[in-house]
Amino acid sequence: MHLTGLDLLFWAAGLGAHLVLLCVLLIRRRFRVFPIFTTFILANVVRTLALYLVEVYGNKASYFYTYWSLAILDTVLQLSVVYEMYSLTFRPLGIWARDLRGSFVWLVAGSIVVAIGLTWLATPHARLWMQVVVIKGSFFSSACMSELFVGMIALSVKAGLPWKTHVARISQGLGVYSIIDVLIEAGHSYFGVNRNTQMYTTLSHFRMTAYLCCVAFWIVMLSKDAKGTRKLPESLRGQLILLQGNVDLQLERVRARRQS
């Protein structure tokens, strides 16, 4: 596969950015709070190295199939990161907030339905069915990802659940990247793979630029400490515990009245 100087520059920049981010996650001990996100970044580093070896020692076919096999793993890891962010936001006491369980089901189902609808509308021009599957599959996953991140913002605000600083930063980065990627995938679908390859190249480089900005954002934000928290005044602590116990008890009684 012939690579231009710009392709190699992006490739090297991506590897460098991932290595720096990995160092930040390890040195600042963020991997303890975000093990799945750390795994995702590590997988990106390993993938780059593996693809480089295949590019140097393999052929065009082996690079193509290695790339797409690893792309499936990448998508699975992205979904796992989404799960991790949801878990850190909507499980304040270690269990999923019970007022939101129904909303999660609707959000996931709605995201899939909307993404399927948009993907069905896409008619990418391509020579091979494999290319159509790849283009449509990529668009579908970007659409789902962006819906899930925006849904997370909406649900957390409606439910009154605050975001921890670093959770917010990781989610913002991936969310913005997903939305940009939806536009880029749509552009690729519109222009197809038969004609206007310069547009393809340009769009892909836009995507890579957006991703590098996202990684740079993570490097800066995750290397900073989260906002300091305050110590609860003793008088307020005791009273709040009393409040919690009483309200819990009273609500149970009120609910029992409904069922009787």
**Contact residue for another protein among 143, 167, 170, 222 (CB under 8 A):** 143
DSSP code, position 58:
S
Which residues within the stretch 149-208 sit at the binding site for another protein (CB under 8 A)?
150, 153-154, 156-163, 175, 177, 179, 181-190, 192-194, 197-198, 200-201, 203-204, 207-208
**Least distance CB 97 / another protein (angstroms):** 7
Phi, psi dihedral angles at 44 (to 5 degrees): -65, -40
**181, 207 in Cβ contact below 8 A?**
yes
Shortest Cβ distance from residue 250 to another protein (Å)? 4
- Selected binder of another protein within 47, 84, 167, 222 (CB under 8 A): 47
User: Interaction with another protein in 1-20: which residues (CB under 8 A)?
Assistant: 1-4, 6-7, 10-11, 13-14, 18
Nearest distance, CB of residue 255 and another protein, angstroms: 8
Note whether 44 binds another protein by CB under 8 A: yes
Q: Which residues contact 212 (CB under 8 A, 6 or more apart)?
A: 10, 13, 14, 17
Verify binding: residue 32, another protein, rule CB under 8 A: no
Two structure tokens written together for 83: 């799960």
Distance CA 47, CA 67 (A): 8
Q: Please give the size of the binding site for another protein, defined by CB under 8 A.
A: 124
Which parts of 205-234 interact with another protein (CB under 8 A)?
A: 207-208, 211-212, 229-232
Q: Which of residues 66-125 bind another protein (CB under 8 A)?
A: 67-68, 71, 74-75, 78, 92-93, 97-99, 114, 117-118, 121-125
Q: How many residues does the chain have?
A: 260
CA torsion angle for 171, 175, 177, 180 (degrees, to 10)? -170
Q: State the minimum distance, in angstroms, from the CB of residue 29 to another protein.
A: 18
CB of 26 to another protein, least distance (A): 19
* Contacts of residue 237, Cβ cutoff 8 Å, sequence gap at least 6: none
Cβ nearer to another protein, comparing 31 with 148: 148
Q: List the one residue out of 172, 156, 154 whose CA is nearest residue 215.
A: 172
Q: How far apart are CA 227 and CA 80, in angstroms?
A: 26
Quote the least distance from Cβ 9 to another protein, whole Å. Answer: 9
User: Rounded to whole angstroms, what are the CA distances from 164 to 40, 96, 156, 178?
Assistant: 20, 16, 11, 21
Q: For residue 11, what are the contacts with CB-CB under 8 A and spacing of at least 6? A: 3, 48, 52
User: Smallest distance, Å, CB 220 to another protein?
Assistant: 18
Q: How far apart are CA 173 and CA 215, in angstroms?
A: 8
**According to the binding rule CB under 8 A, does residue 128 interact with another protein?**
yes
Examine residue 51 and tell whether it contacts another protein (CB under 8 A): yes
